[in-house]
């Protein structure tokens, strides 16, 4: 007779994720800050997924570092914003170089040009949302050894055109 132990639960996400999917969570001056570390596709997807927890109307700021163009908007409908981000997922994860912030008085989600995700809040709610998405909280995250910002030198017309289209679709104003 062969004795078997319980088989470990295997999911596609656990099997193919990077080993550093996690976040740090600290409080500074009454504001909680979460910094997420994962691969580019997962970070962009988390930005999109976590945005569902924002209120129905948000303020938005978009900066394309390649073209030095900046757009802002107030009172943007959350479903419209999420639709625009869904259309940009692949170019954002591929090229980087665009900073997008969605914020209210209480919360802020920011996708940096280096494809990093930051969440800020006056409460600790983002920690629970990140843990629910399978990320582990760490005391510190390892720095990326390939920090060279290749996005600021290489043209990415697809991303730049998509960013302009997003700004127009959301009626953002140039800053």
pLDDT digits (tens, 9 = 90+) for 13-28: 444 445 568 899 999 9
Tokens 């940009």 appear where? 88
**pLDDT tens-digit series, residues 121-162:** 999 999 999 999 988 888 765 555 444 454 556 788 999 999
Other Cβ atoms less than 10 A from the Cβ of 99: the count is: 17
**What is residue 152's predicted lDDT score, i.e. its pLDDT?**
55
Residue 174 burial (CB count, 10 A): 8
CA distance between the termini of the chain: 73
Question: Is the pLDDT at 52 greater than 80, yes or no?
Answer: yes
Mean pLDDT value across the chain: 86
174 pairs with which residues across the strands?
Answer: 71
pLDDT of 2: 53
pLDDT, position 151: 53
Phi-psi region of 132 (alpha: psi -120 to 50; beta: other; left: phi over 0): alpha
Of residues 153 and 67, more confidence is placed in 67
- Euclidean distance between CA atoms 24 and 20, whole angstroms: 12
- Kindly tell me if the per-residue pLDDT of 3 is higher than 70: no
Angstrom distance (rounded) from CA 62 to CA 3 = 58
Per-residue model confidence (pLDDT) at position 144: 53
Q: What is the per-residue pLDDT across 71-123, written as a single tens digit (0 to 9) for each?
A: 999 999 999 999 999 999 999 999 999 999 999 999 999 999 999 999 999 99
Q: Tell me the whole-structure pTM to 2 decimals.
A: 0.83
Rounded Cα distance, 156 and 109, in Å: 24
Q: 58 φ, ψ to 5°?
A: -130, 165
């Amino acid at each position: 007779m062969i004795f078997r132990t319980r088989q470990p639960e295997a999911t596609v996400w656990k099997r193919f994720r990077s080993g550093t999917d996690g976040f740090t969570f600290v409080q500074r001056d009454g504001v909680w800050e979460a910094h997420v570390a994962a691969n580019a596709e997962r970070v962009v997807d988390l930005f999109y997924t976590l945005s569902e927890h924002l209120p129905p109307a948000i303020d938005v700021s978009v900066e394309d570092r390649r073209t030095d163009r900046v757009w802002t908007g107030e009172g943007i409908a959350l479903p419209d914003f999420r639709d625009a981000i869904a259309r940009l997922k692949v170019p954002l994860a591929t090229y980087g170089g665009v900073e997008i912030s969605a914020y209210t008085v209480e919360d802020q989600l920011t996708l940096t040009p280096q494809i990093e995700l930051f969440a800020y809040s006056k409460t600790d709610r983002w920690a629970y949302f990140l843990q629910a998405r399978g990320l582990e909280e760490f005391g510190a995250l390892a720095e990326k050894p390939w920090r060279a910002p290749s996005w600021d030198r290489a043209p990415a017309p697809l991303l730049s055109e998509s960013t302009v289209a997003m700004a127009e679709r959301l009626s953002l104003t140039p800053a």
